[in-house]
Structure 1
Amino acid sequence: MSVETIAKTASFAKSSCQSKVLTVFCDFDGPLVDVSDRYYNTYQLALHETYHYYSRFDPFLKINPLSKKEFWQMKQERANDQEIALRSGLKVQQIPYFVQQVRSIVNDVSLLTKDKFHRGVNWALALLHSQGVRLVVVTLRCQDQVSQILTNYGLLRLFSGVYGTTDAMAAYSNNIECKTALLKKALAEHQTHRTCMIGDTEADILAAKAMGISAIALTCGIRSYNYLQQFEPDQIESNFLTTAYHLLADPTP
Protein backbone atom coordinates (compact mmCIF):
# COMPACT_ATOMS: atom_id res chain seq x y z
CA MET A 1 0.00 0.00 0.00
CA SER A 2 1.34 3.41 -0.94
CA VAL A 3 -0.12 6.52 0.65
CA GLU A 4 0.40 10.14 -0.28
CA THR A 5 -0.79 13.31 1.39
CA ILE A 6 -0.93 16.99 0.62
CA ALA A 7 0.26 19.00 3.59
CA LYS A 8 -1.27 22.31 4.57
CA THR A 9 -0.28 25.31 2.47
CA ALA A 10 -1.13 28.98 2.66
CA SER A 11 -4.00 28.40 0.22
CA PHE A 12 -5.72 25.89 2.45
CA ALA A 13 -8.50 26.83 4.82
CA LYS A 14 -7.38 28.40 8.09
CA SER A 15 -8.56 26.60 11.20
CA SER A 16 -9.82 28.21 14.38
CA CYS A 17 -9.13 27.08 17.92
CA GLN A 18 -8.33 23.36 17.78
CA SER A 19 -10.84 22.31 20.41
CA LYS A 20 -13.71 24.12 18.65
CA VAL A 21 -13.09 22.98 15.09
CA LEU A 22 -15.41 20.46 13.47
CA THR A 23 -13.29 18.36 11.12
CA VAL A 24 -15.08 16.52 8.33
CA PHE A 25 -13.14 13.70 6.72
CA CYS A 26 -14.79 12.87 3.42
CA ASP A 27 -14.39 10.27 0.71
CA PHE A 28 -14.12 11.60 -2.85
CA ASP A 29 -15.77 9.10 -5.21
CA GLY A 30 -19.41 8.70 -4.21
CA PRO A 31 -20.03 11.49 -1.68
CA LEU A 32 -18.57 14.28 -3.83
CA VAL A 33 -18.23 12.77 -7.30
CA ASP A 34 -20.69 10.68 -9.29
CA VAL A 35 -18.76 7.78 -10.86
CA SER A 36 -21.79 5.88 -12.16
CA ASP A 37 -21.34 6.95 -15.80
CA ARG A 38 -17.68 5.92 -15.79
CA TYR A 39 -18.39 2.55 -14.24
CA TYR A 40 -21.29 1.86 -16.59
CA ASN A 41 -19.30 2.88 -19.67
CA THR A 42 -16.46 0.68 -18.47
CA TYR A 43 -18.89 -2.23 -18.19
CA GLN A 44 -20.29 -1.60 -21.68
CA LEU A 45 -16.86 -1.43 -23.30
CA ALA A 46 -15.58 -4.50 -21.46
CA LEU A 47 -18.69 -6.50 -22.38
CA HIS A 48 -18.43 -5.48 -26.04
CA GLU A 49 -14.74 -6.37 -26.17
CA THR A 50 -15.39 -9.74 -24.53
CA TYR A 51 -18.20 -10.48 -26.98
CA HIS A 52 -16.02 -9.46 -29.94
CA TYR A 53 -13.19 -11.70 -28.74
CA TYR A 54 -15.24 -14.84 -28.02
CA SER A 55 -17.68 -14.54 -30.93
CA ARG A 56 -14.81 -15.59 -33.19
CA PHE A 57 -14.95 -19.01 -31.55
CA ASP A 58 -18.68 -19.12 -30.84
CA PRO A 59 -20.76 -17.50 -33.63
CA PHE A 60 -23.94 -18.21 -31.62
CA LEU A 61 -22.75 -16.32 -28.54
CA LYS A 62 -25.43 -13.97 -27.23
CA ILE A 63 -25.11 -11.36 -24.53
CA ASN A 64 -27.73 -9.46 -22.57
CA PRO A 65 -26.35 -6.00 -21.76
CA LEU A 66 -27.74 -4.50 -18.57
CA SER A 67 -29.35 -1.08 -18.57
CA LYS A 68 -27.58 1.53 -16.48
CA LYS A 69 -30.30 1.23 -13.84
CA GLU A 70 -29.90 -2.56 -13.64
CA PHE A 71 -26.12 -2.30 -13.58
CA TRP A 72 -26.04 0.36 -10.85
CA GLN A 73 -28.52 -1.52 -8.70
CA MET A 74 -26.20 -4.52 -8.79
CA LYS A 75 -23.19 -2.36 -7.93
CA GLN A 76 -25.08 -0.78 -5.02
CA GLU A 77 -25.74 -4.23 -3.60
CA ARG A 78 -22.01 -4.98 -4.02
CA ALA A 79 -22.41 -7.50 -6.82
CA ASN A 80 -18.92 -8.25 -8.12
CA ASP A 81 -17.78 -8.20 -11.74
CA GLN A 82 -18.22 -11.96 -12.02
CA GLU A 83 -21.89 -11.77 -11.03
CA ILE A 84 -22.48 -8.88 -13.42
CA ALA A 85 -20.82 -10.82 -16.25
CA LEU A 86 -23.04 -13.86 -15.67
CA ARG A 87 -26.14 -11.68 -15.53
CA SER A 88 -25.06 -10.20 -18.86
CA GLY A 89 -25.01 -13.58 -20.57
CA LEU A 90 -21.32 -14.44 -20.48
CA LYS A 91 -20.22 -17.99 -19.77
CA VAL A 92 -18.06 -18.90 -16.80
CA GLN A 93 -14.94 -19.42 -18.91
CA GLN A 94 -15.37 -15.97 -20.47
CA ILE A 95 -15.54 -14.07 -17.19
CA PRO A 96 -11.78 -13.73 -16.49
CA TYR A 97 -11.33 -11.97 -19.83
CA PHE A 98 -14.21 -9.62 -19.04
CA VAL A 99 -12.80 -8.78 -15.59
CA GLN A 100 -9.38 -8.16 -17.11
CA GLN A 101 -10.93 -5.71 -19.57
CA VAL A 102 -12.78 -3.87 -16.81
CA ARG A 103 -9.68 -3.43 -14.69
CA SER A 104 -7.53 -2.36 -17.63
CA ILE A 105 -9.81 0.49 -18.73
CA VAL A 106 -11.72 1.72 -15.65
CA ASN A 107 -9.05 4.36 -14.95
CA ASP A 108 -8.46 5.29 -18.59
CA VAL A 109 -8.26 9.05 -19.11
CA SER A 110 -11.13 8.98 -21.62
CA LEU A 111 -13.39 7.36 -19.02
CA LEU A 112 -12.27 9.49 -16.08
CA THR A 113 -13.80 12.48 -17.86
CA LYS A 114 -17.21 10.87 -17.23
CA ASP A 115 -16.91 11.66 -13.51
CA LYS A 116 -18.94 14.68 -12.40
CA PHE A 117 -19.49 16.41 -9.07
CA HIS A 118 -22.89 15.69 -7.59
CA ARG A 119 -25.36 18.53 -7.74
CA GLY A 120 -24.93 20.91 -4.82
CA VAL A 121 -21.49 19.68 -3.76
CA ASN A 122 -19.67 22.90 -4.63
CA TRP A 123 -22.20 24.90 -2.65
CA ALA A 124 -22.07 22.51 0.30
CA LEU A 125 -18.27 22.63 0.48
CA ALA A 126 -18.24 26.41 0.34
CA LEU A 127 -20.95 26.59 3.00
CA LEU A 128 -19.11 24.31 5.42
CA HIS A 129 -15.85 26.15 4.85
CA SER A 130 -17.50 29.53 5.44
CA GLN A 131 -18.77 28.28 8.80
CA GLY A 132 -15.29 27.27 9.95
CA VAL A 133 -15.59 23.54 9.29
CA ARG A 134 -12.26 21.93 8.44
CA LEU A 135 -12.53 19.72 5.34
CA VAL A 136 -10.18 16.82 4.63
CA VAL A 137 -10.41 14.38 1.73
CA VAL A 138 -9.60 10.75 2.56
CA THR A 139 -9.84 8.68 -0.59
CA LEU A 140 -8.62 5.45 -2.13
CA ARG A 141 -8.33 7.25 -5.44
CA CYS A 142 -4.93 8.44 -6.68
CA GLN A 143 -3.98 11.57 -4.76
CA ASP A 144 -2.67 13.33 -7.86
CA GLN A 145 -5.98 12.83 -9.68
CA VAL A 146 -8.01 14.17 -6.78
CA SER A 147 -5.87 17.24 -6.17
CA GLN A 148 -5.89 18.05 -9.88
CA ILE A 149 -9.68 17.75 -10.13
CA LEU A 150 -10.16 19.94 -7.06
CA THR A 151 -7.74 22.48 -8.52
CA ASN A 152 -9.55 22.48 -11.86
CA TYR A 153 -12.83 23.31 -10.12
CA GLY A 154 -11.27 25.89 -7.79
CA LEU A 155 -12.05 23.77 -4.74
CA LEU A 156 -8.62 22.77 -3.44
CA ARG A 157 -8.39 25.97 -1.38
CA LEU A 158 -11.33 24.77 0.73
CA PHE A 159 -9.49 21.70 2.01
CA SER A 160 -6.99 21.38 4.84
CA GLY A 161 -5.58 18.19 3.38
CA VAL A 162 -5.93 15.48 0.76
CA TYR A 163 -5.02 11.90 1.60
CA GLY A 164 -4.91 9.40 -1.24
CA THR A 165 -2.98 6.51 -2.74
CA THR A 166 -0.66 5.92 -5.67
CA ASP A 167 -2.47 2.70 -6.57
CA ALA A 168 -4.86 3.26 -9.48
CA MET A 169 -6.91 0.18 -8.56
CA ALA A 170 -7.29 0.85 -4.83
CA ALA A 171 -10.55 2.76 -5.25
CA TYR A 172 -12.11 0.18 -7.55
CA SER A 173 -11.27 -2.70 -5.19
CA ASN A 174 -12.38 -0.64 -2.14
CA ASN A 175 -9.55 -1.78 0.12
CA ILE A 176 -10.73 -1.45 3.73
CA GLU A 177 -7.27 -1.77 5.29
CA CYS A 178 -5.92 0.97 3.05
CA LYS A 179 -8.82 3.31 3.86
CA THR A 180 -8.29 2.72 7.59
CA ALA A 181 -4.58 3.50 7.30
CA LEU A 182 -5.32 6.70 5.40
CA LEU A 183 -7.88 7.84 7.95
CA LYS A 184 -5.52 7.05 10.81
CA LYS A 185 -2.84 9.23 9.23
CA ALA A 186 -5.31 12.04 8.55
CA LEU A 187 -6.56 11.97 12.14
CA ALA A 188 -3.03 12.09 13.51
CA GLU A 189 -2.29 15.21 11.48
CA HIS A 190 -5.60 16.96 12.17
CA GLN A 191 -6.16 16.49 15.89
CA THR A 192 -9.60 17.68 16.97
CA HIS A 193 -12.27 16.63 19.45
CA ARG A 194 -15.09 16.89 16.93
CA THR A 195 -14.79 14.72 13.86
CA CYS A 196 -16.81 12.62 11.45
CA MET A 197 -16.16 10.53 8.37
CA ILE A 198 -18.49 10.86 5.39
CA GLY A 199 -18.44 8.04 2.86
CA ASP A 200 -20.52 5.82 0.63
CA THR A 201 -19.08 2.35 1.27
CA GLU A 202 -18.42 -0.17 4.00
CA ALA A 203 -14.73 0.80 3.87
CA ASP A 204 -15.58 4.31 5.08
CA ILE A 205 -17.86 3.08 7.86
CA LEU A 206 -15.46 0.41 9.12
CA ALA A 207 -12.49 2.78 8.98
CA ALA A 208 -14.40 5.36 11.03
CA LYS A 209 -15.42 2.73 13.58
CA ALA A 210 -11.84 1.49 13.84
CA MET A 211 -10.70 5.05 14.59
CA GLY A 212 -13.54 5.68 17.03
CA ILE A 213 -15.19 8.54 15.14
CA SER A 214 -18.69 9.13 13.83
CA ALA A 215 -19.55 7.52 10.48
CA ILE A 216 -22.03 9.17 8.11
CA ALA A 217 -22.98 7.03 5.12
CA LEU A 218 -24.40 8.48 1.92
CA THR A 219 -26.69 6.66 -0.52
CA CYS A 220 -25.76 8.82 -3.53
CA GLY A 221 -22.73 6.61 -4.17
CA ILE A 222 -21.98 2.99 -4.92
CA ARG A 223 -23.87 1.34 -2.04
CA SER A 224 -27.60 1.19 -1.31
CA TYR A 225 -29.33 2.19 1.91
CA ASN A 226 -30.07 -1.44 2.80
CA TYR A 227 -26.48 -2.50 2.19
CA LEU A 228 -25.00 0.35 4.21
CA GLN A 229 -27.40 -0.26 7.07
CA GLN A 230 -25.75 -3.63 7.76
CA PHE A 231 -22.61 -1.83 8.95
CA GLU A 232 -24.50 0.37 11.42
CA PRO A 233 -23.21 3.85 10.58
CA ASP A 234 -24.16 6.62 12.98
CA GLN A 235 -26.23 8.30 10.27
CA ILE A 236 -27.38 7.56 6.73
CA GLU A 237 -28.02 10.54 4.47
CA SER A 238 -29.05 10.88 0.83
CA ASN A 239 -26.33 13.27 -0.34
CA PHE A 240 -23.54 15.60 0.71
CA LEU A 241 -25.58 18.81 0.54
CA THR A 242 -28.21 17.44 2.93
CA THR A 243 -25.44 16.24 5.23
CA ALA A 244 -23.84 19.69 5.25
CA TYR A 245 -27.08 21.33 6.36
CA HIS A 246 -27.57 18.74 9.10
CA LEU A 247 -24.00 19.14 10.36
CA LEU A 248 -24.41 22.89 10.65
CA ALA A 249 -27.78 22.55 12.35
CA ASP A 250 -26.40 20.05 14.88
CA PRO A 251 -22.59 19.99 14.61
CA THR A 252 -21.97 17.37 17.29
CA PRO A 253 -20.97 14.14 15.50
Structure 2
Amino acid sequence: MDRFALPAAGFTVFCDFDGPIVDVSERYYRTYRLCLEGTCAKAVERGEPLSAQPLVKTDFWELKCDRVPDTEIARRSGLGAENIPHFIRCIQGTVNQPHLLGLDRLQHGVDRALMLLRASGVRVVIVTLRCRDQVTRILDECGLLCLLEGVYGTDDCTIAYRNTVEQKRRLFELALADSTTFVEYAIGDTEADILAARALGIPTIALTCGIRSHAYLKRYQPEYLQTDLASTTEFLLGQLAQTL
Protein backbone atom coordinates (compact mmCIF):
# COMPACT_ATOMS: atom_id res chain seq x y z
CA MET A 1 0.00 0.00 0.00
CA ASP A 2 1.13 3.52 -0.79
CA ARG A 3 -0.24 6.55 1.11
CA PHE A 4 -0.27 10.19 0.12
CA ALA A 5 -1.19 13.60 1.58
CA LEU A 6 -4.92 14.03 2.22
CA PRO A 7 -7.54 16.74 2.41
CA ALA A 8 -8.95 17.27 5.86
CA ALA A 9 -12.67 16.40 5.77
CA GLY A 10 -15.31 14.19 4.23
CA PHE A 11 -15.46 10.42 3.92
CA THR A 12 -13.65 7.61 2.10
CA VAL A 13 -14.62 5.62 -0.98
CA PHE A 14 -12.86 2.54 -2.31
CA CYS A 15 -12.56 2.42 -6.10
CA ASP A 16 -11.49 -0.33 -8.47
CA PHE A 17 -8.94 0.49 -11.18
CA ASP A 18 -9.72 -1.57 -14.29
CA GLY A 19 -13.10 -0.37 -15.52
CA PRO A 20 -13.85 2.66 -13.31
CA ILE A 21 -10.49 4.37 -13.94
CA VAL A 22 -9.20 2.81 -17.16
CA ASP A 23 -10.90 1.35 -20.22
CA VAL A 24 -9.40 -2.12 -20.76
CA SER A 25 -11.51 -3.15 -23.76
CA GLU A 26 -8.78 -2.70 -26.38
CA ARG A 27 -6.26 -4.68 -24.32
CA TYR A 28 -8.70 -7.53 -23.81
CA TYR A 29 -9.66 -7.57 -27.48
CA ARG A 30 -6.06 -7.46 -28.68
CA THR A 31 -5.22 -10.32 -26.30
CA TYR A 32 -8.12 -12.33 -27.70
CA ARG A 33 -6.97 -11.78 -31.29
CA LEU A 34 -3.33 -12.60 -30.51
CA CYS A 35 -4.25 -15.81 -28.71
CA LEU A 36 -6.72 -16.88 -31.38
CA GLU A 37 -4.05 -16.38 -34.04
CA GLY A 38 -1.45 -18.15 -31.88
CA THR A 39 -3.73 -21.12 -31.30
CA CYS A 40 -4.40 -21.43 -35.02
CA ALA A 41 -0.66 -21.25 -35.75
CA LYS A 42 0.00 -24.07 -33.26
CA ALA A 43 -2.65 -26.19 -34.93
CA VAL A 44 -1.05 -25.64 -38.33
CA GLU A 45 2.31 -26.74 -36.90
CA ARG A 46 0.65 -30.00 -35.87
CA GLY A 47 -0.79 -30.43 -39.34
CA GLU A 48 -4.32 -29.58 -38.17
CA PRO A 49 -5.31 -26.36 -39.98
CA LEU A 50 -8.14 -24.36 -38.36
CA SER A 51 -10.74 -22.12 -39.96
CA ALA A 52 -11.24 -19.86 -36.95
CA GLN A 53 -13.08 -16.58 -37.51
CA PRO A 54 -12.31 -13.70 -35.09
CA LEU A 55 -15.25 -11.86 -33.61
CA VAL A 56 -15.42 -8.13 -34.25
CA LYS A 57 -14.65 -6.04 -31.18
CA THR A 58 -18.24 -4.99 -30.48
CA ASP A 59 -19.44 -8.61 -30.45
CA PHE A 60 -16.46 -9.74 -28.38
CA TRP A 61 -16.95 -7.00 -25.80
CA GLU A 62 -20.67 -7.65 -25.51
CA LEU A 63 -19.89 -11.28 -24.63
CA LYS A 64 -17.26 -10.23 -22.07
CA CYS A 65 -19.64 -7.75 -20.45
CA ASP A 66 -22.25 -10.49 -20.08
CA ARG A 67 -19.53 -12.68 -18.56
CA VAL A 68 -19.68 -15.32 -21.26
CA PRO A 69 -16.78 -17.73 -20.48
CA ASP A 70 -13.64 -17.61 -22.58
CA THR A 71 -14.30 -21.22 -23.54
CA GLU A 72 -17.57 -20.20 -25.17
CA ILE A 73 -15.96 -17.19 -26.86
CA ALA A 74 -13.35 -19.58 -28.26
CA ARG A 75 -16.05 -21.93 -29.52
CA ARG A 76 -17.94 -19.09 -31.21
CA SER A 77 -14.67 -18.08 -32.86
CA GLY A 78 -14.36 -21.50 -34.48
CA LEU A 79 -12.01 -23.34 -32.12
CA GLY A 80 -12.65 -27.00 -31.41
CA ALA A 81 -12.52 -28.55 -27.95
CA GLU A 82 -8.98 -29.83 -28.49
CA ASN A 83 -7.65 -26.31 -29.12
CA ILE A 84 -9.50 -24.41 -26.41
CA PRO A 85 -7.14 -25.27 -23.49
CA HIS A 86 -4.18 -23.72 -25.36
CA PHE A 87 -6.28 -20.63 -26.10
CA ILE A 88 -7.27 -20.23 -22.43
CA ARG A 89 -3.69 -20.60 -21.21
CA CYS A 90 -2.59 -18.01 -23.73
CA ILE A 91 -5.26 -15.53 -22.61
CA GLN A 92 -4.36 -15.89 -18.94
CA GLY A 93 -0.65 -15.56 -19.59
CA THR A 94 -0.87 -12.66 -22.04
CA VAL A 95 -3.57 -10.20 -20.93
CA ASN A 96 -1.44 -8.45 -18.28
CA GLN A 97 1.84 -8.43 -20.17
CA PRO A 98 3.62 -5.03 -20.17
CA HIS A 99 3.53 -4.65 -23.96
CA LEU A 100 -0.28 -4.75 -23.87
CA LEU A 101 -0.92 -2.60 -20.80
CA GLY A 102 -0.18 0.50 -22.85
CA LEU A 103 -3.45 -0.10 -24.70
CA ASP A 104 -5.47 0.91 -21.63
CA ARG A 105 -6.92 4.42 -21.70
CA LEU A 106 -8.34 6.63 -18.97
CA GLN A 107 -12.10 6.61 -18.89
CA HIS A 108 -13.67 9.89 -19.97
CA GLY A 109 -13.85 12.47 -17.19
CA VAL A 110 -11.81 10.50 -14.64
CA ASP A 111 -9.21 13.22 -14.06
CA ARG A 112 -11.82 15.91 -13.42
CA ALA A 113 -13.86 13.57 -11.21
CA LEU A 114 -10.88 12.77 -8.99
CA MET A 115 -9.97 16.45 -8.71
CA LEU A 116 -13.52 17.36 -7.67
CA LEU A 117 -13.64 14.59 -5.08
CA ARG A 118 -10.33 15.57 -3.55
CA ALA A 119 -11.26 19.26 -3.47
CA SER A 120 -14.46 18.31 -1.64
CA GLY A 121 -12.64 16.24 0.96
CA VAL A 122 -13.72 12.83 -0.35
CA ARG A 123 -10.85 10.40 0.06
CA VAL A 124 -10.46 7.98 -2.85
CA VAL A 125 -8.57 4.75 -2.22
CA ILE A 126 -7.79 2.49 -5.17
CA VAL A 127 -8.40 -1.18 -4.33
CA THR A 128 -7.48 -3.39 -7.26
CA LEU A 129 -6.49 -6.95 -8.08
CA ARG A 130 -3.93 -5.53 -10.51
CA CYS A 131 -0.25 -5.39 -9.54
CA ARG A 132 0.15 -2.46 -7.14
CA ASP A 133 3.39 -1.26 -8.76
CA GLN A 134 1.79 -1.27 -12.23
CA VAL A 135 -1.19 0.75 -11.08
CA THR A 136 0.88 3.23 -9.08
CA ARG A 137 3.14 3.85 -12.05
CA ILE A 138 0.22 4.40 -14.43
CA LEU A 139 -1.50 6.81 -12.05
CA ASP A 140 1.74 8.71 -11.54
CA GLU A 141 2.33 9.01 -15.30
CA CYS A 142 -1.22 10.34 -15.72
CA GLY A 143 -0.76 12.88 -12.91
CA LEU A 144 -3.50 11.30 -10.79
CA LEU A 145 -1.50 9.70 -8.01
CA CYS A 146 -1.45 12.89 -5.95
CA LEU A 147 -5.27 12.93 -5.91
CA LEU A 148 -5.55 9.62 -4.05
CA GLU A 149 -5.29 8.55 -0.43
CA GLY A 150 -3.73 5.21 -1.28
CA VAL A 151 -3.36 2.28 -3.61
CA TYR A 152 -3.98 -1.30 -2.51
CA GLY A 153 -3.09 -4.02 -4.99
CA THR A 154 -1.35 -7.35 -5.38
CA ASP A 155 2.10 -8.61 -6.24
CA ASP A 156 0.73 -11.19 -8.70
CA CYS A 157 0.10 -10.03 -12.27
CA THR A 158 -2.16 -13.03 -13.01
CA ILE A 159 -4.78 -12.51 -10.29
CA ALA A 160 -6.68 -9.60 -11.87
CA TYR A 161 -7.99 -11.61 -14.82
CA ARG A 162 -9.37 -14.31 -12.51
CA ASN A 163 -11.22 -11.61 -10.52
CA THR A 164 -11.94 -13.64 -7.38
CA VAL A 165 -14.26 -12.39 -4.65
CA GLU A 166 -12.04 -13.73 -1.86
CA GLN A 167 -8.93 -11.90 -3.08
CA LYS A 168 -10.90 -8.67 -3.43
CA ARG A 169 -12.38 -9.04 0.05
CA ARG A 170 -8.91 -9.43 1.56
CA LEU A 171 -7.77 -6.23 -0.10
CA PHE A 172 -10.85 -4.40 1.16
CA GLU A 173 -10.06 -5.64 4.67
CA LEU A 174 -6.53 -4.25 4.45
CA ALA A 175 -7.80 -0.90 3.21
CA LEU A 176 -10.48 -0.78 5.91
CA ALA A 177 -7.93 -1.46 8.63
CA ASP A 178 -5.90 1.56 7.52
CA SER A 179 -8.80 3.94 6.88
CA THR A 180 -8.93 6.98 9.16
CA THR A 181 -12.46 8.01 8.15
CA PHE A 182 -15.80 6.30 7.56
CA VAL A 183 -15.87 4.24 4.36
CA GLU A 184 -19.04 5.33 2.59
CA TYR A 185 -18.99 3.27 -0.62
CA ALA A 186 -17.05 0.80 -2.74
CA ILE A 187 -17.04 1.63 -6.46
CA GLY A 188 -16.49 -1.17 -8.95
CA ASP A 189 -17.55 -2.71 -12.23
CA THR A 190 -17.80 -6.45 -11.47
CA GLU A 191 -19.63 -8.90 -9.27
CA ALA A 192 -16.41 -9.42 -7.29
CA ASP A 193 -16.50 -5.79 -6.16
CA ILE A 194 -20.15 -6.02 -5.14
CA LEU A 195 -19.90 -9.33 -3.28
CA ALA A 196 -16.61 -8.57 -1.54
CA ALA A 197 -17.82 -5.17 -0.33
CA ARG A 198 -21.17 -6.58 0.78
CA ALA A 199 -19.41 -9.22 2.87
CA LEU A 200 -17.83 -6.37 4.83
CA GLY A 201 -20.96 -4.26 5.08
CA ILE A 202 -19.83 -1.63 2.55
CA PRO A 203 -22.53 -0.27 0.19
CA THR A 204 -21.61 -0.53 -3.49
CA ILE A 205 -21.85 1.69 -6.54
CA ALA A 206 -21.59 -0.46 -9.66
CA LEU A 207 -20.38 1.23 -12.85
CA THR A 208 -21.50 0.14 -16.30
CA CYS A 209 -18.52 1.66 -18.14
CA GLY A 210 -16.32 -1.35 -17.34
CA ILE A 211 -16.30 -5.06 -18.03
CA ARG A 212 -19.87 -5.92 -16.99
CA SER A 213 -23.15 -4.84 -18.54
CA HIS A 214 -25.94 -3.02 -16.73
CA ALA A 215 -28.17 -6.09 -16.90
CA TYR A 216 -25.47 -8.37 -15.52
CA LEU A 217 -24.56 -6.07 -12.63
CA LYS A 218 -28.21 -5.57 -11.72
CA ARG A 219 -28.49 -9.28 -10.85
CA TYR A 220 -26.15 -8.69 -7.89
CA GLN A 221 -28.30 -5.87 -6.51
CA PRO A 222 -25.71 -3.16 -5.82
CA GLU A 223 -27.02 -0.25 -3.79
CA TYR A 224 -26.55 2.04 -6.80
CA LEU A 225 -25.84 1.74 -10.52
CA GLN A 226 -24.03 4.57 -12.27
CA THR A 227 -22.60 5.02 -15.75
CA ASP A 228 -19.07 6.08 -14.87
CA LEU A 229 -16.92 7.86 -12.30
CA ALA A 230 -18.07 11.27 -13.53
CA SER A 231 -21.73 10.54 -12.78
CA THR A 232 -20.72 8.85 -9.54
CA THR A 233 -18.88 11.99 -8.47
CA GLU A 234 -22.05 14.05 -8.88
CA PHE A 235 -23.87 11.53 -6.71
CA LEU A 236 -21.14 11.50 -4.04
CA LEU A 237 -20.95 15.27 -3.83
CA GLY A 238 -24.71 15.34 -3.39
CA GLN A 239 -24.37 12.85 -0.54
CA LEU A 240 -21.62 14.93 1.03
CA ALA A 241 -23.72 18.10 0.82
CA GLN A 242 -26.47 16.40 2.83
CA THR A 243 -24.05 15.80 5.71
CA LEU A 244 -22.92 19.43 5.98
TM-score where L is the length of structure 2 = 0.95
Matching residue of 1:25:
14
Matches within 5 A, 1:211-222: 211-222=200-211
Q: Is the 8 A contact 2:27 2:103 kept in 1?
A: yes
Matching residue of 1:66:
55
How far, CA to CA, are the matches of 1:206 and 1:65 in structure 2? 33
Instruction: Give the counterpart of 2:178 among 160, 182, 189.
Output: 189
Q: Is the 8 A contact 1:125 1:158 kept in 2?
A: yes
Matching residue of 1:140:
129
Matching residue of 1:46:
35
Matching residue of 1:208:
197
1:96-149 CA-to-partner distances (Å, cap 9, x unmatched) read 111111122111211100011001000100011011111100000000001111
Secondary structure of the equivalent of 2:149?
A: strand
Instruction: Give the counterpart of 1:118 among 84, 87, 107.
Output: 107
1:188-223 CA-to-partner distances (Å, cap 9, x unmatched) read 111433510000000100111011111000000000
Q: Is the 8 A contact 1:198 1:216 kept in 2?
A: yes
How far, CA to CA, are the matches of 2:182 and 2:14 in structure 1? 13
How far, CA to CA, are the matches of 1:172 and 1:148 in structure 2? 19
Matches within 5 A, 1:74-223: 74-223=63-212
- The 1:141–1:55 alpha-carbon spacing in structure 2 relative to 1, beyond 3 Å, is same
1:63-100 CA-to-partner distances (Å, cap 9, x unmatched) read 12101011111111111211110010000010011111
Q: Is the 8 A contact 1:85 1:95 kept in 2?
A: yes
How far, CA to CA, are the matches of 2:24 and 2:171 in structure 1? 21
Indicate whether 1:13 and 2:23 are aligned.
no
Secondary structure of the equivalent of 1:236?
A: strand
Secondary structure of the equivalent of 2:42?
A: helix
How far, CA to CA, are the matches of 2:225 and 2:7 in structure 1? 29
Matching residue of 1:243:
232
Q: Which runs of 4+ in 1 moved over 3 A?
A: none
How far, CA to CA, are the matches of 1:194 and 1:41 in structure 2? 36
List gaps (5 residues or longer) in structure 1: none
Question: How many positions carry a matched residue from both structures?
Answer: 241
1:153-189 CA-to-partner distances (Å, cap 9, x unmatched) read 1111111111000111111000110100100111111
What is the deviation of 1:13?
2.1
Q: Is the 8 A contact 1:141 1:165 kept in 2?
A: yes
Secondary structure of the equivalent of 2:82?
A: helix
Instruction: Give the counterpart of 2:217 among 225, 228, 234.
Output: 228
Q: Is the 8 A contact 2:52 2:78 kept in 1?
A: yes
How far, CA to CA, are the matches of 1:110 and 1:121 in structure 2? 23
Q: Is the 8 A contact 2:7 2:118 kept in 1?
A: no
How far, CA to CA, are the matches of 1:54 and 1:170 in structure 2? 28
Root mean square deviation of aligned Cα: 1.4
Secondary structure of the equivalent of 2:83?
A: helix
How far, CA to CA, are the matches of 1:104 and 1:140 in structure 2? 16
Q: Is the 8 A contact 2:7 2:119 kept in 1?
A: no
How far, CA to CA, are the matches of 1:106 and 1:70 in structure 2? 19
How far, CA to CA, are the matches of 2:8 and 2:164 in structure 1? 30
Q: Is the 8 A contact 1:15 1:134 kept in 2?
A: no
The percentage of counterpart residues that share the same residue type is 48
